[in-house]
Amino acid sequence: MEGKIKDLVKKIEAKTIERRRDFHKYAEVAWTEFRTAAKVADVLQELGYEVLAGDDVIAPEAMMGVPEPEKLERHVKRALAQGANPKWVEKMKGGKTGVVGIMDFQKPGPTLAFRFDMDANDAIEAEEEEHRPYRENFASVNKGAMHACGHDGHTAIGLAVAEILTTLKDQLAGKIKLIFQPAEEGVRGAKAMMVKGVVDDVDYLVGLHLGFAFNELGKISCDAGGFLATTKLDVTFTGHPAHAGGAPETGRNALLAASTALVNLYAISRHSQGPSRINVGILEGGTGRNVIPARAVMKLETRGATSTINEYMYNEAIRIIKAAGDMHGVKVKIAETGGAAGANSNPELGERIKLVAQRMELFEEYIPAKNLGGSEDVTYFMERVQQKGGMAAYVIVGTELAAGHHDFRFDFNEEALSKSVALLSGVAVDILTGEK
């Protein structure tokens, strides 16, 4: 069957590239992926999948870093003008842009899930002839949004896998769940889908990324790990203004409270059980040199080698921020704007994926247990599946890049699309034709 998969992949290769370029041209950032998600839902429905979207796959109380309603409404109107199906857009109101395609096969078997992230970056794409998307007329037409991380490719891969598995459905057992996730950038989207229970019945989960960590076609890591758990926080300090010379004692200095917090955040003791991190990336406040600052904004993140270590860093950070506010008599408002769990791939599943890739002769070099050291919110899915006794793996498919991830000249070798489609389709067949 693996030979048949490669033939099917070749047959739809041009369509897969066309889809990738369409998603690239109409890039949409976190929680505004109305057109992208609607197109995904349309294709899945046409292929015969049960399609869940909006409130069916997103827990609103767990959404992080959602844009203001006016901004969401602007993006809704833009998506509709750019061809989004109103039926799906209506279900996704409020930024609930997750989509899940489900297909139950006739014979009993395990539940396998693939996760594909859909969102673009907050970036302005290069407009120069050397940049292929610009030269070949598929650069983003949505200013301020650009697929600079390859999620356009991930989404196209997911739809190609969906089509191939439909063709092979009579030979498969169990269930496939194709998870199209919004808001990976800023690690904001997976938690809301995990809390909704999207992966609670999953026995095997696989995530995939193009080009991250090694940039050469033909390389692959089938069991990447070392993800750091993280929490992203926006903190607003609100005090009271006063004349800095005439009546300083009547003011409440929000910037001083924020600065006190900043210095002491870096004094948090490191954790003995593994790496722990904290970083304050932004501190803004004040209106003039002779005015006691009445407002300050701090943006920071905590990280840890495990969710437990990150939770320790998070709790200590909250304690220090609140204490700094109390010390200076200012109010503190804390908003959680993103987060991810700590996770590692299950080596057994990684080895199984590697064996599939080797049988299909898709890659030339296999990189063992790549330790990423960063954060990716697929880890919420991975951790949940593992907690319930299942297995999860994260795959990195190498590809040449025109520029690094999140660069405004980012582009990748589109040959990696078909390799990825063939691999995931082969993994699905391996798992869903007889659990081993």
Tokens of 228: 């750091």
Specify the pLDDT at position 214. Answer: 82
Reported as a pLDDT band with limits 50, 70 and 90, residue 245 is: very high
Q: Same structural domain for residues 124 and 260?
A: no
Specify the pLDDT at position 166. Answer: 98
Domain-terminating residue out of 312, 340, 368: 340
Tokens of 436: 């081993």
User: N- to C-terminal Cα distance for the chain?
Assistant: 17
Q: Same structural domain for residues 366 and 390?
A: yes
Specify the pLDDT at position 225. Answer: 87
Q: Model confidence over 53-72: pLDDT tens digits?
A: 999 999 999 999 999 999 99
Q: DSSP secondary-structure letter at 17?
A: H
Tokens of 84: 């989004």
| C-alpha–C-alpha distance, residues 351 and 374, integer Å | 23
Specify the pLDDT at position 206. Answer: 98
Q: Same structural domain for residues 223 and 238?
A: no
Specify the pLDDT at position 197. Answer: 98
Average pLDDT on 392-399 reads 96
**Quick check: 149 and 406 in contact, CB under 8 A?**
yes
- Averaged pLDDT score across all residues of the chain: 96
Domain-terminating residue out of 340, 369, 393: 340
Specify the pLDDT at position 427. Answer: 98
CATH number (domain holding residue 289): 3.30.70.360
Q: Model confidence over 173-223: pLDDT tens digits?
A: 999 999 999 999 999 999 999 999 999 999 999 999 999 878 899 999 999
Average pLDDT on 240-260 reads 97
Average pLDDT on 214-235 reads 93
299 to 234, 262, 400: CA distances (angstroms): 5, 10, 34
Q: Same structural domain for residues 174 and 277?
A: no
Q: Same structural domain for residues 334 and 402?
A: no
**Residue 434 clears pLDDT 80, i.e. is over it:** no
234 to 64, 107, 278, 332: CA distances (angstroms): 11, 49, 14, 10
| C-alpha–C-alpha distance, residues 100 and 32, integer Å | 17
- Beta-carbon contacts of residue 411 (< 8 Å; ≥ 6 apart): 131, 132, 133, 401, 402, 403
For residue 355, give the amino acid letter: L
Reported as a pLDDT band with limits 50, 70 and 90, residue 102 is: very high
**Residue 370 clears pLDDT 80, i.e. is over it:** no
Q: Model confidence over 133-175: pLDDT tens digits?
A: 999 999 999 999 999 999 999 999 999 999 999 999 999 999 9
Q: Model confidence over 5-43: pLDDT tens digits?
A: 999 999 999 999 999 999 999 999 999 999 999 999 999
Dihedral sign (CA 214, 392, 159, 171): positive
Q: Same structural domain for residues 309 and 362?
A: no
Tokens of 17: 């590239």
Domain count, the chain: 2
Specify the pLDDT at position 435. Answer: 54
Q: Same structural domain for residues 255 and 162?
A: no
**Residue 420 clears pLDDT 90, i.e. is over it:** yes
Which structural domain, as residue segments, surrounds residue 252?
A: 233-340
**Quick check: 230 and 302 in contact, CB under 8 A?**
yes
Q: Model confidence over 402-418: pLDDT tens digits?
A: 999 999 999 999 999 99
Q: Same structural domain for residues 135 and 55?
A: yes
Q: Cβ–Cβ contacts within 10 Å for residue 130, how many?
A: 9
153 to 150, 265, 324, 328: CA distances (angstroms): 5, 39, 45, 50
Q: Same structural domain for residues 348 and 327?
A: no
Q: Cβ–Cβ contacts within 10 Å for residue 14, how many?
A: 9
Q: Same structural domain for residues 82 and 131?
A: yes
Average pLDDT on 224-245 reads 96
| C-alpha–C-alpha distance, residues 434 and 369, integer Å | 26
Tokens of 95: 């930024």
- Quick one: what percent of the chain has pLDDT higher than 70? 99
- Beta-carbon contacts of residue 137 (< 8 Å; ≥ 6 apart): none
Q: Same structural domain for residues 213 and 264?
A: no
CATH number (domain holding residue 7): 3.40.630.10
Look at the block and give the residue holding tokens 């994926």: 353
**Residue 371 clears pLDDT 90, i.e. is over it:** no
Domain-terminating residue out of 310, 340, 370: 340
**Quick check: 237 and 254 in contact, CB under 8 A?**
yes
Average pLDDT on 343-347 reads 93
Q: Same structural domain for residues 43 and 83?
A: yes
